[in-house]
Amino acid sequence: MVRQLHGLPGLVAAVFLITTAITAAVLALAPAMDRAAAVIPPAGEVNVAELAGRVVAHYPGTEQIERGSSGGVIVYYSRDGQPGADLVNPLTGEGIAPYEPSAFFTWIKDLHRAFLLDDTGRAMAGMMAALMVLLCITGILMLARRTGGWAALLRPFAGSGNKRVHSELARFAVLGLLLSALTGSYMSAQRFGLLPETFETGPAFPAEVSGGQPAPVANLSALSEVDLSELRELVFPYPDDPRDVYSLTTSSGSGFVDQATGELLKYQPRSESSVFQQWVVSLHTGEGLWWLGLILGAAALTVPVLSVTGIGIWWRRRSSEHLPDNVTVSQADTIILVGSEGNATWGFARELHASLNKAGFRVHCSEMNALTGHYPQASMLFVLTSTYGDGDAPTSARRFMARLGDFRARETLKYAVLGFGDSQFPNFCQFALDVDAALARKGLTRLHGIELINRCSASQFSQWGDTIGELIGAPLSLTYDPLPPPPVKLELVERADYGLAVQAPTSILRFKAAEQGGRRLKFLPRAPQTLPSFEAGDLLGVMPPHGQAARFYSLASSVTDGVLEICVRKQPGGLCSGYLHQLRPGDHIDGFVRPNPGFRPATGNTPVILIGAGAGIGPLTGFIRKNTGRHPMYLYWGGRSSQSDFLYQPELGRYLEDQRLTGLNTAFSRSDECAYVQDKLRQDQVAVRQMVEKGAQILVCGGRGMAVAVKQVIEDILEPLRTDVETLRAEGRYLEDVY
């Protein structure tokens, strides 16, 4: 619900919001520019009588002196019957420049306040402000949810792309945007009579005026008691009218000054509501608070980027999750919940949804994180989920278990869990098994026992559909067969071999896109194939020869590095690793990239601790290579011998020098020290604990045995902090890429 409230209005209003934000950013410059052009003496240095005396000496026809909200002093005068206005220097009374409000800023102001459309536009601008309040509040709620709670709002984010840019920028700008939006809404509500507006009428003209010979303005006592910093405006009496008076308005009230005696007549302090109103205006425009204006302007500048990335997120989610005829939660008799990281499971969910719809059911399908407290009409619940990491939840299901606590099922609700995984992993479909058990513990009845689909098997899925169809008395013909992404031909351009002497043959392999084969006209050059987009930590699917299923390797480079780099340890009897190890430069392989957004370092200045062993160093080096912002990054890595399998040794040395890597700690098991990476972590426990306290994120990459040992040490290190690995994991601060 919060997400819909955040997304829909944001999308509808993006164009107007961008206009409002850009104009706000331009207008925010005005107070600072005005201030830069003016001469502003420190408070207490010049009083209004002195100022008026100096101004009148240079402008005998002075009619009014005004102090603008930015502090500049403007004199309005008449000379030879012609009116004029100048910005003056309050220390001398001399003119600095003619005063003329900028036509450009006036136009921008009209565009900002009313989209150049008078009252209709003003109403729209008011609605935009209210909408921005809604976006900010729902955005803050989503940020808190994403970071794992209010206390963790400033913690680093995992993830990448649009989502990450959107969240980071929003976190930076949200308070400024909320302040602008709240004050803008308030002002708009006043303009349309929805909130009372205070009009300060000032005191009535004084009945008793001395009418004596006017004294020089510099000698008027009431004016000499007012400091220039408090002045709003001083209106001069009509010349040659001894019964007229000076009208004085200051920041605290207004009154009249007798031009002969200099006495203050009929002073009226400003009401509290008027002072409040003025504060609202200042907080919105930065008038009188030029520094705030610049902060609000910077916040406003993020709105175009937030809009574009927001639309990108919405579009991506819509294209993967959008299902025709998806009924609402309250109408649905059947619920499908999907847990997915790489979107493959969504394809199966779509097929199930279509089939159930065809059979006459009213189906609602959403991600598992969107589990609601209650499905009022539902009698069937299907949970389709993949497993990631080391038997963990995929991204779209990370909050499912926590939400299950508040879930109240109808007694008639029956469920079936379908797990998607890969039997190569020791924790095959573990998360699906956990979900199935958790639903049973909750007291729900199984419609059918859990089934596990290996490597997206279309035939297993279809058989499951047949069984379910029989159980619900409506045949389901599930025929989904996902195609793997089209493979790219890759050419090995370079390899570096390590570890032979210590029985751990490991190679760094660098590929580029191979030239297009096939027939072509002789005079045309060969079209170079381009690499697909990828980042370090994504996975390269490699098809070994003889039609075997693809094996996955973590990428050690990003597409911007121009090569696709993997680090592969030759496994005894390993079909694919053996195949890769016998490649020579110039040889070709078929591969495809699978995004792995759940394994990325957070941005920002909180430390990132990278932990790995053996070939697990590949993606970790890729992260360091990309750390051109020099954020604190520490690497703990374990190998066998510094002479034989110290992978990336020269490159890591360079990164330490140019500070892309802050600290490097290595352990070698077949050296004199005979240490493993977990031993180094234990030795460094104080430093590691301090970094975690500061919000550090931990990324672990490598073999399962190492990951288990590292987890145990980290648990011990975390104990005094009263937290644990699972808590960090839920906050996106403990990520694993384990094989």
In this structure, what are the phi and psi dihedrals at residue 38, rounded to the nearest 5 degrees? -95, 160
How near is the Cβ of 308 to ligand FMN at its closest, in Å? 26
The correct pick among 162, 340, 366, 621 for binding ligand FMN (CB under 6 A) is: 340
Say if CB 184 and CB 129 are below 8 A apart.
yes
287 or 367: CB nearest ligand FMN? 367
Our finding on whether 480 is near ligand FMN (CB under 6 A) is no
Say if CB 564 and CB 492 are below 8 A apart.
no
Please provide the distance, in angstroms rounded to a whole number, between the alpha carbons at the two ends of the chain.
37
Our finding on whether 420 is near ligand FMN (CB under 6 A) is yes
Hey, what amino acid is at 725? V
Residues 526-565 that bind ligand FMN (CB under 6 A): 539, 552
Residues 565-604 that bind ligand FMN (CB under 6 A): 596
C-alpha separations of 669 from 620, 637, 640, 680, 712 in Å: 20, 11, 5, 11, 19
174 or 349: CB nearest ligand FMN? 349
How near is the Cβ of 703 to ligand FMN at its closest, in Å? 14
Q: How many helices (H) and strands (E) does the chain have?
A: 20, 25
Pick from 275, 215, 283: nearest CA to 250: 275
Task: Compute the half-sphere exposure of residue 701: CA atoms within 13 Å on the CB side of its CA.
Answer: 28
Our finding on whether 344 is near ligand FMN (CB under 6 A) is yes
Beta-strand pair 539-542/734-738: unpaired
The correct pick among 210, 425, 460, 685 for binding ligand FMN (CB under 6 A) is: 425
Instruction: Tell me whether residue 701 is exposed, middle or buried, using C-beta atoms within 10 angstroms of its C-beta: 0 to 12, 13 to 18, 19 or more.
Output: buried
6 or 551: CB nearest ligand FMN? 551
**Of 66-74, 124-132, 428-436, 640-648, which segment contacts ligand FMN by CB under 6 A?**
428-436
Q: Rounded to the nearest 5 degrees, what angle is found at the Cα of 424, between the Cα atoms of 621 and 485?
A: 70
Helical segments of 43-117, H only: 48-58, 103-114
394 or 616: CB nearest ligand FMN? 394
428 or 480: CB nearest ligand FMN? 428
**CB neighbour list of residue 629: distance below 8 Å, 6 or more residues apart:** 603
**Of 152-160, 416-424, 686-694, 706-714, which segment contacts ligand FMN by CB under 6 A?**
416-424
Beta-strand pair 82-88/73-79: antiparallel
34 or 390: CB nearest ligand FMN? 390
Q: How far is CA 27 from the centre of its chain?
A: 25
262 or 389: CB nearest ligand FMN? 389
**CB neighbour list of residue 464: distance below 8 Å, 6 or more residues apart:** 418, 451, 453, 478
Pick from 345, 335, 366: nearest CA to 452: 345
Residue nearest to ligand FMN (CB): 421
How near is the Cβ of 565 to ligand FMN at its closest, in Å? 18
322 or 408: CB nearest ligand FMN? 322
How near is the Cβ of 304 to ligand FMN at its closest, in Å? 32
**CB neighbour list of residue 590: distance below 8 Å, 6 or more residues apart:** 487, 488, 489, 490, 542, 543
The correct pick among 261, 372, 427, 641 for binding ligand FMN (CB under 6 A) is: 427
Q: Rounded to the nearest 5 degrees, what angle is found at the Cα of 643, between the Cα atoms of 638 and 649?
A: 65
159 or 288: CB nearest ligand FMN? 159
The correct pick among 71, 176, 237, 394 for binding ligand FMN (CB under 6 A) is: 394
How near is the Cβ of 699 to ligand FMN at its closest, in Å? 13
Q: What number of chain residues touch ligand FMN (CB under 6 A)?
A: 26
Our finding on whether 105 is near ligand FMN (CB under 6 A) is no
345 or 666: CB nearest ligand FMN? 345
Residues 353-392 that bind ligand FMN (CB under 6 A): 386-391
16 or 428: CB nearest ligand FMN? 428
How near is the Cβ of 615 to ligand FMN at its closest, in Å? 14
**Of 221-229, 240-248, 373-381, 427-435, which segment contacts ligand FMN by CB under 6 A?**
427-435
Our finding on whether 422 is near ligand FMN (CB under 6 A) is yes
Binding stretches for ligand FMN (CB under 6 A): 340-345, 386-391, 394, 420-422, 425, 427-430, 456, 539, 552, 596, 737
